[in-house]
Structure 1
Amino acid sequence: MPHARAHVLDGTHGPLAVHEWPHPAPRFLALVAHGYGEHAGRYEELAAVLTGHGAAVYAPDHAGHGRSAGERVLIEDFEDVVTDVHAVAELARAARPGLPLVLVGHSMGGLVAARYAQRYGGEPSALVLSGPVIGAWELPGRLLALDEIPDIPVSPSALSRDPAVRAAYAADPLVWHGPMKRPTVEAFARTLETVDRGGDVGRLPLLWLHGDDDRLVPLSGSRTGVERLSGGALTERIFAGARHEVFHETCRAEVFAEVRAFLDRVLPR
């Protein structure tokens, strides 16, 4: 695949690092929003699949993540993250005007992508949500009820059955391996409510991907949010035995095939 290009934008909280995986003659743009505590560089394999299918791919490191500015994993308002992602979309459209935009969000990035689709409803041509933090996610309430949030990092075993993925995650210096921060948990709780009240996305084609052994963002809680968000153009794909990161799971070839098939159905030829 092409080497990633690096951009730096003026984000809402300082310099925003953006990855671009270019395509010489793209037929669509793909914008990837990564999950909590990680960074966009972990999505190189997904970017290769998308560029191989005709996309120019852009992905920011969210504020406080990866190589972007900000206190690590501190997000006080997810609306700022959505604004940053929109700035990346504008960068992509300026380089390749007139192309359809596909928004891909994983986990926390699914929350961001869902809110993006609500705020900028006329812009995306398709929405792909992987293990999205929307609907009835109980973790924020449990953590906020505690006097002190415990210093328990995300367990690599909860992400994937692939030992190589687990080892790479554990050794990645750009991944946050500490506890969640209270302002971020509070922002999660507020934005879950905002998306819940924000209405559906109309006839925007939506692909929902989820592992049925996802212990971080359980399937049943996410379902309520996805079904409320969808205006009826929903495609659901649940992967048996898969954990939280289906793009990094042992069944990812099947996951990527579902993404390609969905895009072929919903994008102009």
Structure 2
Amino acid sequence: MPELTHYSGDTATWQPDILGEGYEQLTLELPNGAPATLVRYSPPGGCRPDAADVLYVHGWSDYFFQTELAQYWAKAGMRFYALDLHNYGRSLRPGQSPGFTMDLTEYDDDIAAALAAMGRPVPAVKGETVEEAKPVRPLILVGHSTGGLTLSLWAARHPLAASALVLNSPWLEFQATELGRKIISPLIGREAQRRPLATLPPVDAGNYSRAVFSAFGGEWTYNLLWRPLRGFPGTVAFLNAVFRAQAAVADGLDLGIPVLVLLSDKSYLQPRWSAEAGKADVALDVEVVAHRALSLGNSVTVARVPDALHDVFLSAKPVRRRAYAAVDRWARGYLPAAPTAAPELQAGAQSISS
């Protein structure tokens, strides 16, 4: 567990962020020696003192640059934060292996440090006998792809910490289905012990970048060192960590909070470019993920967004509007019933829909 007293939320430690006005970043030193970075968005006028906290975690070969997403939550009156995990994005340092991890639970330290910097109490782990500190504000977790998988398991291990979970195309199951994962997992596990940094054959044909990056006609511009056109080289250690996490989801997480899972209505998993790739998830089998989402808990809403990309909030503008509308509908039904502060969340949901 990181030394939490260092992260007091003192504004003197925050620095201007690369995203410009309203965005600041804070370096979080972690026990493993590799820092994480917390980004916060503070729009003019700020937010209510009792507003909910939103913490966003990115996916594989990614970092936080989705300013529209931050503005969406801020307009709802929420405090928005995003975490660049260690070995990713703003946190990536020379000599590090991008995205490297042996287990997704390694990110517990990143999340704990982020929550402390946000002024939140240290969440109790499932099964601890210590009394849980009362949260100062509701916490809404938002995760994309591998970040969604990471946050799902984190929420299961810290059952009193979060009020709701929003997952944007979470990597909950292997593209080749559960059977494929079970067949491959033993081999990957052995290799992860022998050669953790061994790289896997590339599977990204560049279709995703072609659909979103501005140089190819997409809407978005980002740092190609932090989000390469064909992704980081995958390691056997990383895939083993993902497989183990997916196996835990398959066993059932029994989350006691409302969960929203946003997915495209179709996948395009072919190696060559097609116009279909610009209106589909090119990374995951959305049918497999939709089925596996039911293993998260008893209150799971799966919203299929027609023509959405893998990152639903990087889709074409009409598609993004449909995605935000889906969050609105879900928020009106579920956020008011969040366990720690129904009135505050109800006000936020009403703002979202306006």
TM-score normalised by length of structure 1? 0.86
Aligned: 1:8 with 2:27: yes
CA contact (8 A) 2:55 2:80 kept: yes
Aligned: 1:229 with 2:296: yes
Per-residue CA shift, 1:65-107, capped at 9, x if unaligned? 1021442121111001133123212322349x62110000110
Change (3 A) 1:210 1:159: farther
Change (3 A) 1:219 1:152: closer
Distance, in Å, in 2 between the alignment partners of 1:175 and 1:162 is: 12
Distance, in Å, in 1 between the alignment partners of 2:323 and 2:210 is: 13
Distance, in Å, in 2 between the alignment partners of 1:160 and 1:52 is: 30
Alignment match, 1:173: 225
TM-score normalised by length of structure 2? 0.67
- Higher share of residues assigned strand: 1
Identity percentage of aligned residues = 23
Per-residue CA shift, 1:2-51, capped at 9, x if unaligned? 611111112353211111113622421000010100101x2221011011
Distance, in Å, in 1 between the alignment partners of 2:146 and 2:205 is: 13
CA contact (8 A) 1:106 1:132 kept: yes
**Pairwise CA distance, 1:188:** 1.0
Aligned pair partner of 2:115 in 89, 92, 106: 89
**Pairwise CA distance, 1:178:** 3.6
User: What's the secondary structure of 1:93's corresponding residue?
Assistant: coil
Aligned: 1:158 with 2:208: yes
**Pairwise CA distance, 1:159:** 6.4
CA contact (8 A) 1:64 1:72 kept: yes
**Pairwise CA distance, 1:264:** 3.5
Consecutive unaligned residues of structure 2, counting only runs of 5 or more, are 1-19, 122-134, 192-197, 267-280, 337-341, 344-354
Moved more, 218-227 or 119-128: 218-227
Alignment match, 1:29: 53
Change (3 A) 1:211 1:223: same
Moved more, 104-113 or 179-188: 179-188
**Pairwise CA distance, 1:225:** 2.3
Change (3 A) 1:228 1:21: same
Task: Report the number of matched residues.
Answer: 264
Aligned: 1:149 with 2:149: no
CA contact (8 A) 1:35 1:108 kept: yes
Alignment match, 2:254: 200
AA paired with 1:193? A
Aligned pair partner of 2:264 in 205, 211, 235: 211
Q: What aligned pairs does 1:230-269 form with structure 2 within 5 A after superposition?
A: 230-231=297-298, 233-250=299-316, 251-265=319-333, 266-267=335-336, 268-269=342-343
Q: What aligned pairs does 1:127-142 form with structure 2 within 5 A after superposition?
A: 127-138=165-176, 141=181
Larger radius of gyration, structure 1 or 2?
2
Per-residue CA shift, 1:207-227, capped at 9, x if unaligned? 110002223111122123210
